[in-house]
Structure 1
Amino acid sequence: MTPFFIPARLRLSARRKRTFAPYLYLTPSLLVVAMLMLLPMAMVVTYSFQRSAVLQPDNSFAGLMHYREIFADPVFWSSLWHTLYFTLASVVMHMVIGLLFALMLNSPRINPALRSVLRVLYILPWLFTQVIIAVIWRLLLEPNGIVNSILTSLGIIGSRIEWFSNPETALHAVTFANIWAGYPIFMVSILAGLQGIPKDLYEAADIDGATGPQKLFFITIPQLMPIIVSISLLDFIWTMQVFPLIWLTTGGGPIYATEVLSTYTYKLAFAQYNLSQASASAVVILLIAIGLTLFYIRHQKAR
């Protein structure tokens, strides 16, 4: 035995302790995640392959029967289309409105006192829960509400419209309410990004004689693009899963006009008590969310 054998072994043991110690600290959190997230997801996946789960326990393997049933249901496909419309329209308008308001708040032409007031007003929708937002917009858009009164007095509409009860306007009304509720996260993120853009870029552009639109499209937006893409991906994931706002304003109606995947799954589970089929629908939503999350993680690593 050489005199250096024992110290080397001790060094190896210490190195292993340093390697595994962080994982030991994470163990309680990992156990909580496993119990609150992984276990329920595993149960939902299991239920989706059973003939009848929970209420009428039938653990026999059903294969892809419930998946075939939801894919054959026209309401599922209309819900998927409504989800895509609701999500894409919301994300795009969140980005546009958030960018415009952030540019306004970052402008040196605005008085500092006015800027402070506008900042509070613009961020106000972010402070409300979806339940409060649903109540606000139901009151504003009811037939005798202020929106109908203003539009009628201006001659834009000839008669009062039941925005949430009309199949032709319900989805647009819910989407508008969600746009109003969600733009502040873009505004705050983009405003932080604007304040981090080096002033030298704009000074060099001024020397070259660049106009305002040229500086916007060739300096500001390219510098903000990593923030815009990241927040857009997160907003897409969050908006796709919105439930309380739609449920409390329209309940997915009228006549499935605002039915989205979340309300469709909820009705399968708690209105029709078809928990196995609802689990299959939930698995589809889960797979879409996982795909978007992986895309977001890849984008973050690419940055």
Structure 2
Amino acid sequence: MFILTLIPIVMVISYSVMDNVIVNKSPEFVGFDNYIEVLTDRVFYTAVGNTLFFTGVSVVAHLVLGLSFAMLLNTRLLGTMTKALFRVVYILPWLFTVAIIAVLWRLMLSPNGIVNYLLISGGLIDTGVEWLSSRDTALPAVTFINIWAGYPFYMISLLAGLQGIPRDLYEAATVDGANSFKQFLNVTLPQLKPIIIAMAMLDVIWTTQQFALIWMTTGGGPINVTEMLSTYTYKLAFSRYEFSVASASAVIILLFSMVLSFFYVRHQKSRD
């Protein structure tokens, strides 16, 4: 942990207040100039806005889909074989690596892909849409891909939580005259609240740091429409070779992640 985590963090922080680092043997101290350059860059705020949209929509959709599918798999209305089949189908996105997911959806969302074919066949559109290349659809498209890839984590965790709720609580609610909807509001959700909060915090941390999916589908384009904080920092370092500015951007992201981690750890301690 010391070698692989603490030392790199200290090095990046030191780079963020220097200039001419890595590629130059005579770095010079510049103070907070790199931070000022990042915080006055319009692309940085575009990346912040895109990251907030990408994260917010993904986390909410993950929760809604995960809870819906978990309740479907926990219901007594379906047979054992049907539940087993649904478990296999719903868990599939969680089994694929990011590279496979990116390539798969790039093929499906291409102008000649299956998505456009189905929409044209159904009469919903007239011509193929450049889902990942259009400024109007690129951000919603990558957000949808992330939602599809991430909801099984919520589903599995919430399904375990649902199966751990005592049946006595539902029987008592039934005796008190509560219908299914009231049982969901007053029994199911309160029992799942600790799990939902913990997963949502983790999901926010993970989603704000999502890089591979964005880079392998849109690369932050077109024209910064899908630029995230992760891709913005990467481009500063390895496309523009401004390692000092990239380090400043990385430190800003680190501070943001530390705030989220603080609330997550605090919640876990209060839960314990």
Scaled to the shorter chain, the TM-score interval is over 0.9
Q: Distance in 2 between matches of 1:157 and 1:211?
A: 43
Name the SS for the 1:55 alignment partner: coil
Structure 2 residue identity aligned to 1:128: F
Comparing 171-180 with 50-59, greater Cα deviation is found at 50-59
Alpha carbons of structure 1 residues 57 and 80: separation in structure 2 relative to 1, 3 Å: farther
* Alignment match, 2:242: 274
1:185 and 2:150 correspond: no
**Amino acid across the alignment from 2:148:** W
User: Does residue 1:264 correspond to 2:232, yes or no?
Assistant: yes
For 1:156 and 1:210, the matched residues in 2 are separated by 43
CA distance in 1, matches of 2:124, 2:5: 49
Match of 1:250 in 2: 218
Which residue number in structure 1 is paired with residue 87 of structure 2?
119
Q: Distance in 1 between matches of 2:64 and 2:120?
A: 28
SS state at 1:135 partner:
helix
- Code of the residue aligned with 2:3 in structure 1: it is M
Could you list the per-position Cα deviations for residues 258-301 of structure 1 after superposition, in whole angstroms to 9, with x for gaps in the alignment? 00000000000000000000000000111111110001011111
Q: Equivalents in 2 of 1:275, 1:172: separation in Å?
A: 31
> Which aligned runs of 4 or more in structure 1 are off by greater than 6 angstroms?
none
Any idea what SS the aligned residue of 2:28 has? strand
Aligned-residue Cα RMSD (Å) equals 0.8
Matched with 1:55 is 23
**Identity of counterpart residues, as a percentage?**
55
Shift of 1:152: 1.4
Find the aligned partners of 2:78 and 2:138 in 1 and give their Cα distance.
Answer: 37
Higher Cα radius of gyration: 1
Query: What SS does the corresponding residue of 1:156 show, helix, strand or coil?
Result: coil
Q: What is the TM-score with the length of structure 2 in the denominator?
A: 0.98
The residue that corresponds to 2:53 in the other structure is: 85
Structure 1 distance, partners of 2:181, 2:126, is 39
Cα distance in 1 for partners of 2:141, 2:111 equals 13
Unaligned runs of 5+ in 1: 1-32
Output the CA distance in 2 between the equivalents of 1:57 and 1:78: 33
1:149 Cα offset (Å): 1.0
Q: What CA distance in whole angstroms lies between the structure 2 residues aligned with 1:166 and 1:56?
A: 39
The equivalent of 1:209 in structure 2 is: 177
* Aligned AA (1:235): D
What is the CA–CA distance in structure 2 between the aligned matches of 1:223 and 1:58, rounded to whole Å?
A: 59
Q: How many residues align?
A: 271
Determine if the alignment matches structure 1 residue 132 to structure 2 residue 136.
no
Corresponding residue of 2:76: 108
Distance 2:141 2:202 in 1: 23
The answer as to 2:207 corresponding to 1:239 is yes
Does 2:114 align with 1:146?
Answer: yes
Q: Which position in structure 2 is the counterpart of 1:29? A: none
Secondary structure of residue in 1 paired with 2:64: helix
- Inter-partner Cα distance in structure 1 for 2:257 and 2:91: 27
User: 1:261, 1:285 within 8 Å by CA — same for their partners in 2?
Assistant: yes
How far apart in 2 are the matches of 1:213 and 1:52? 62
Give the Cα–Cα distance (whole angstroms) in 1 for the partners of residues 115 and 25 of structure 2: 50
Structure 1 residue 58, shift from structure 2 partner: 3.5
Deviation at residue 245 of structure 1 after TM alignment: 0.5
Letter in 1 for 2:53: Y
Comparing 48-57 with 279-288, greater Cα deviation is found at 48-57
| Secondary structure at 2:240 match in 1 | coil
